[in-house]
Amino acid sequence: MANDKILVVGGGISGITAAVEAAEMEYDVYLVEREPSLGGRVAQLRYYFPKLCPPTCGLEMNYRRIKTNPRITVYTLATVKSVSGGPGNYRVTVEIAPRYVNENCTACGECEKVCQGERENTFDFGLSRTKAIYLPHPMAFPLRYVLDKSALAEGDLDRIMAACKYDAIDPNMQPQTVELEVGAIIWATGWKPYDARKLDNLGYGRFANVITNMQMERLASPTGPTGGKILRPSDQTAPKTVAFVQCAGSRDENHLPYCSYICCLASLKQSLYLAEQDKDTEIFIFYIDIRTPGRYEKFLRRAQEEARINFIKGKVAKIEEDPETKDLIVTAEDTLSGKKVSQRVNMVVLAVGMQPSLAEGEVPAGVSVDENGFVRISEGMYACGCARLPLDVMTSNETATAAALKAIQTIVRG
């Protein structure tokens, strides 16, 4: 007989959706997330296209569904180490890294005030720093601090422990191993931005004012490094001219051979962020094709009407920096006019593509991935969201519901 429990790996919007859908059908679910919080990439976004609403509402609603459903067990800082068995009866070993902060934490923030050690804020893609003890992000679930022991300054441990009235800091916490028995597994491990440093000609990592589209989301966010003002990194001034470079890494046999599906829409959305901040900002989108599939075509019209966008059909050949002003000169061939374009701008946003989280890294035992790192589906092992292919949130959620149904079918079939 099949085990009637389901494991979901990855606690982004897809994994959360798969977990609540299965649990609301009265199946027990283990939700395993590698980071200290659920939420995944959507927690980093300012707004969702096409409605330009903040992702917080949807996340909050789903967190409530998790909190009120005893069938879901959440493990954070957790990774799958091994999978054995087959459809209907898997045995999974999960390793849980120590958080050094226990359930007593009220997220009061007193420890953070006295902590001197700092670490790079990976949630802001290096655009800010956090203290060694920190809340992963304002929409964290669980809403609990985490300690990075390697970032502590001398005397920090005594200071933070003295500041905590709730006895929540436990520096002696040890890694744990949990053995789970489940009937089906859903991989919802999502995506990571393609490493823009690999795109030599585009200057990312060398020129301060070349940023990625995910960094742009953090700059636009009220909880981001600039409190929601889009400022260029070199001098913290608001850019008056901004270029977007589409297909940065995508649709390129030397990098990601596929279309990342969402980056045209993301650049249109970010053009609206810029237009909202300053009606005079001029935007240049360098593209191969603008892809706004299905009903998103309307969003293209909206961006065209509301923002001062110049569309230039041409692949960017190179980006150079003016060392005096830190402005950038973007060179491309306009394929419609046949002319070479050299556009000076204050800031460049690279529309970097989505690479599956499991690409170029350690693939958990038992899961099969294709040549690009997307999860292959088989009986008992399903995948949803961007672990499966590049997707927007709406379609990710649809694939998550479908994966929950497939997992239940595996269990019911025995």
Ligand X SMILES: Cc1cc2nc3c(=O)[nH]c(=O)nc-3n(C[C@H](O)[C@H](O)[C@H](O)COP(=O)(O)OP(=O)(O)OC[C@H]3O[C@@H](n4cnc5c(N)ncnc54)[C@H](O)[C@@H]3O)c2cc1C
Smallest distance from ligand SF4 to CB 246, Å: 4
Characterize the bridge pairing of strands 129-131 and 118-120.
Answer: antiparallel
Query: Mind spelling out the 3-state secondary structure of 34-61?
Result: CCCCCCHHHHHCCCECCCCECCHHHHHH
Does 212 help bind ligand SF4 (rule: CB under 6 A)?
A: no
Say if residues 245 and 287 touch (Cβ distance below 8 Å).
no
Chain centroid to Cα 252, Å, comes to 22
Burial of 307 (0-12, 13-18, 19+ CB in 10 A): buried
Task: Classify strands 210-212 and 282-287 as parallel, antiparallel or unpaired.
Answer: unpaired
Residue 268 binding: pick among ligand X, ligand SF4, none (C-beta 5-8 Å cut-off by kind): none
**Binding pattern for the stretch 19-58 against ligand X, x by CB under 6 A and - elsewhere:** -------------xxxx----xxx--x--xx---------
Question: How is residue 406 written in tokens?
Answer: 């497939």
CB nearer to ligand SF4: give 2 or 288: 288
Candidates 7, 14, 142, 203; binder of ligand X (CB under 6 A) is 14
Site for ligand X in 363-392 (CB under 6 A): 364, 385-386, 391-392
266 binds ligand X (CB under 6 A): yes
259 lines the binding site for ligand SF4 (CB under 6 A): yes
Q: How far apart are CA 69 and CA 66, in angstroms?
A: 5
Residue from 49, 63, 125, 145 touching ligand SF4 (CB under 6 A): that is 145
Is 325:222 a contact under the CB 8 Å cutoff? no
Q: Which of 5, 7, 8, 12 binds ligand X (CB under 6 A)?
A: 12
Q: Which does 168 bind (CB under 5 to 8 A by kind): ligand SF4, ligand X, none?
A: ligand SF4
* 328-334 vs 316-321, strand pairing mode: antiparallel
Verify binding: residue 307, ligand SF4, rule CB under 6 A.
no
Contacts of 322 (CB under 8 A, 6+ apart): 328, 329, 344
Among the listed residues 25, 97, 108, 231, the single contact to ligand SF4 using CB under 6 A: 108
Compute the distance between CA of residue 147 and CA of residue 161 in angstroms, rounded to an integer.
Answer: 11
Q: Looking at 7, 9, 210, 259, which residue binds ligand X (CB under 6 A)?
A: 9
Binding residues for ligand SF4, per CB under 6 A? 101, 105-111, 145, 163-164, 166, 168-169, 246-247, 250-251, 259-261, 263-264, 289, 291, 351, 353
Binding residues for ligand X, per CB under 6 A? 9-15, 32-35, 40-42, 45, 48-49, 79, 188-191, 213-214, 217, 262, 266, 269, 354, 357, 364, 385-386, 391-394, 396
